[in-house]
Amino acid sequence: MKTRFVLLTAAAVLGLASCNKESVIEMSAPESIDFNASLGYASKASSKTMFATGDKFDVWSVFDNAGAKTTYFHDNYLFDGTSWHSSSSPYYWPETVDATRVLTFHAVWPESVARTASADSFNYSVADAAADQKDVLYAKHVSTSKETAGVKLNFRHTLSLINLKVKNSSSTLKFDVTGIKVAFVNKAGTFTATSVAGGDTDDMNTGNLAGTDWTATDGTADASRSYSQTGLSAAVAAGASATGVGSSWILMPQEKAIATAYTSNSPEAPANGAYLAVKMTVRNAADGTVIASERWCCWPVAISWTPGYRYTYTIDLAGGGYEEKNVDADPELDPVLGGQEIIFVGCTVDAWDEINRDIVM
């Protein structure tokens, strides 16, 4: 269904803000390859906070013998509650591992994520429902010696965590929030790792992955590509401070321009950028009289999401905004309150806090 933004009455005062070559690899059977794995944590239930019995990660190792690269092994490693083991048979270190004979590991959790034909790349589509969205983790480690005590893998978040907060600066209005949405975003892409910030040889550093590691594969984003949560029940009283609403989204890192707002005397033109929306009922704070019922109100916002960060958008519901309507036309934006500029109260980005836990082999 197509959507359009239509001017909301001023009375409502609604506010929105590698090349493989053949080479000979000598095996050294007594020295098995083991892993010590740690990961970061996020504040959402489906985000990974610690490894549990039965967890698996997919690991792809590449042996570089003086420039001749071959896949050494590609398999899943299973956690039994104490240590990690290959899901098939043990793997052993090459006879020699040094600065010219390097063994590199690329690991992804969960193991079900679809790899491409490359060790450092995979395809992924984000689930529509927030409750079904999963944290996807990537780890890389470069071994220039046999690490027989266990290879350290620090898994980093490849996606972004998005939160929405609302406040109410009005002393005469209150709001009942029943839905939230983020629109004009890509949902599927290919991740290809570049160098890890802080270096690839010590995978216990805290550097994040680069946003440019993601390439969208679901075409050009438009207003129909959105994530919504409905059926919420959040009362925002007059004068209320910033309060979180709905569940966090775990979405694909990307950059999107702000949706264009048009003045009342400009020709109508399609909306061509990102926006946030809140579904709400507006009431008189004194007697609870309904001023506007169950309206989707939207705020254009520029998106610049990178892996491993939590982005928190805070919106004052008592400002000005746009109303979303379903009409038989391309998505359009009309101004509210006579073209009054929409101003965000705040848009903050917090580092996605990380806790490292070593697994004793």
Give the integer Cα–Cα distance in Å for 156 and 351: 12
CB-CB neighbours of 225 under 10 Å: 18
Q: What is the pLDDT of residue 351?
A: 52
| Amino acid letter, residue 302 | A
Residue 233 Cα distances to 10, 72, 83, 344, 361, angstroms: 25, 53, 44, 23, 47
Contact 151, 34 (CB under 8 A): yes
Q: What is the pLDDT of residue 352?
A: 61
φ, ψ for residue 193 (rounded to 5)? -70, 135
Strands 303-304 and 255-256: antiparallel
Contact 92, 33 (CB under 8 A): yes
Residue 26 Cα distances to 61, 126, 203, 224, 290, angstroms: 15, 41, 26, 54, 77
Tens place of pLDDT per residue across the chain (361 aa): 433 333 333 233 333 333 232 333 333 345 788 777 776 433 333 456 577 888 888 999 999 999 999 999 999 988 877 777 788 888 889 989 999 999 999 989 999 998 999 999 999 999 999 999 999 988 888 889 988 878 888 888 899 999 999 988 888 889 999 999 998 899 999 999 876 655 554 455 556 777 678 999 998 877 678 899 999 999 999 999 999 999 999 999 999 988 765 433 333 444 568 888 888 888 899 999 988 888 888 788 889 998 888 899 988 888 655 565 543 444 343 433 333 333 333 444 445 644 343 322 2
Q: Enter the pTM of the model.
A: 0.78
Give the integer Cα–Cα distance in Å for 193 and 140: 9
Q: What is the pLDDT of residue 177?
A: 95
Q: What are the tokens at 275? A: 């926006």
Q: What is the pLDDT of residue 98?
A: 94
